Structure 1
Amino acid sequence: MALDDKMVEILVGVSMKIKALPLSPHNHGDRWIWGGDKKGGFTVKFAYHIAQNRILEDDFSTPNPSATLWKHLWQAPVQGNVKVCVRKAAANILPTRSRLSERGIDIDTQCPFCDEEVESPIHALRDCPHAVSILQVANIPTLTNASCVANWLIAIYTLAPAAFSPLLMLIWATWRNRNSRIWEEDCKSAHELVPLTLGWWNDYKAAHVHPVRDNGLRVLHKWCKHSFGFIKLNVDAAFNMDTGLAGLGGIFLDHEGSVVGGFRHTLEVANSPRHAELLALIHGVQLALDHHLTPLVVESDCMDLVQAIPGSSLDHSDLGFLLSDLRALLIAALGARVGYGKRTTNLVAHSLAQEAKDGQFSVNFFTNCPPSVEAFVFSDCNDSPSMN
């Protein structure tokens, strides 16, 4: 019986996923891992995200805008209590008078500011004259066609993303100001509240929002020559997110910066960019052993792996067995260590990996530097500092 095109497409997809499994060639004992987490461990936090996505997805075949909203909300550079307040408003569980009444509490449902409309979440935070004045002072669009807080937030992020985080702060401040009026008979005007709130936000960002931390790693910003007698290996990987095709690249340089070897290798499919980066490290160290390029110092621009090698953060993930293989190779390479360097320190290996991704190379080891990367080698190795 002939297979239809749809079935063939499904079978090819399954085949590629099987091929992409990060399998070790060595005999490791079987163990269970939680595939949904990069560290292989099950957490309540991850279960919460699964449940949230399942509840919110009315149609699994189409993207869910609310799921995107939660992602942007939790990643926004604002305080945690602001995120909690906005999440309650977006989920329609903020304890406004209308919501309390719906839950059986005998209460006047009129807005405590305007006393003209029922106090729903969207009225309290956008439509009430009190809220409108705050948004106008802050120059935040009201977008009154959005019928609820969640839709309003989605529309703001889509049409005016720069206003998203300030709006989160102002929603929290508006609700706080509303509570102060009810419980403390104190209320700030919009011209007082907006600069005060945005000032708090700027102070928070200055104290808490930083560039990506190096977590104690020595971070290199420029390629460095290493100590006399050592060979330095820089590796990188390039990954096609659509096809899973990956390219691995690496370059071996002596203490003077002269090329003593390198490699390009094309992978038909890899599981993820990090899987490809790990295979680049394994291939590079194995080639160093095969060609007696030791003692060895290794450098990668994948911080997750550099941190995981001496630690155990990924030992129970799908990459755990391959990490064990890499550690054994590093020991065999006279105790070689892997350090972290930014992409700017890794341009030669990066270029070789891109060439491997775009071509067809089967562990192509070379001793003469390819013309395509000669300029990068020259730039890296001339007048570069020494690393002692």
Structure 2
Amino acid sequence: MLPAKSPLFKQIWKWHGPERVRVFLWRVAHESLLTNFCRVKRGMSSDSTCGECRQAMETTLHVLRDCPYAQEVWNKTCRGLALMQAFRGNLENWLLKNLFRSQHLRPDWSFRFGITLDSLWHRRNRAVFQNLVISSDQLVAEIQARIAPTLSRDFNQDLGSGSLYRNTEWTYPSTGTLKLNCDGAVARDGEASCGGVVRNSNGEFVVAFYGRLGRCSILEAELKAILQGTRIVLERNVGQVILVESDSSEAIKILNEGCSRVHPCCHIVREIKDLSTQLSRVS
């Protein structure tokens, strides 16, 4: 238990992010999450073992940082960003360093860190109470989708470099329409990745995806994000009308206007259009 006068409690209320997540962070700092370790202490259970790895007691630090599943998520979220800091220290120091002393890492790290903690806990609860299996790649895609409406970054820069803040509001698609929000990214070493999330007309989560693409251009990464999102909608048979939303105006333009056969992305554009014919409408 942290000391009552810990500076962490005062700082948490200054965290810039959703109020619900701020309250969650306060619960994390107070170690009041109903983990299996906490349940045993309260006489609610006799088993404190982590239900995910079955290797250690499920404490607050374990479920949010030290569990192999959590470490997979942090590795994919950090992409090599100060991993020693991300995985070091007791609960108080770990939260203080990552929530309030992380300006030297990247401007958006505090926000990204808080959202990741919240997502890890909610994923744990879905696994326990709904028996849902969510891979680390799927959770990373969900995290990216939660961050995207608030933060905008230059995808031509390394994921470990600075970010720009942008206040945007996610808008609901029309009734019966799915919205696909997707992104592509290319790091300085040329390694690319893509991810996205599909929501329905009520804003409810349908499916998410994330994947590494190897070396390719930023336009290829953006187009492959759209391709993968469209493919997943078809494979899961979750809807017939899709609204695609991408930060890449170039990707949207080439899909709307087409390209020559010698264009390096011609094969991706063709595949997207071929898949689109299997749906009622893609826009």
Q: Into which bin does the TM-score normalised by the smaller protein fall?
A: 0.3 to 0.5
More relative contact order, 1 or 2 (CA 8 Å, 6+ apart): 1
Could you say which structure has the higher strand fraction? Answer: 2
TM-score by length of 2: 0.46
Higher Cα radius of gyration: 1
TM-score by length of 1: 0.34
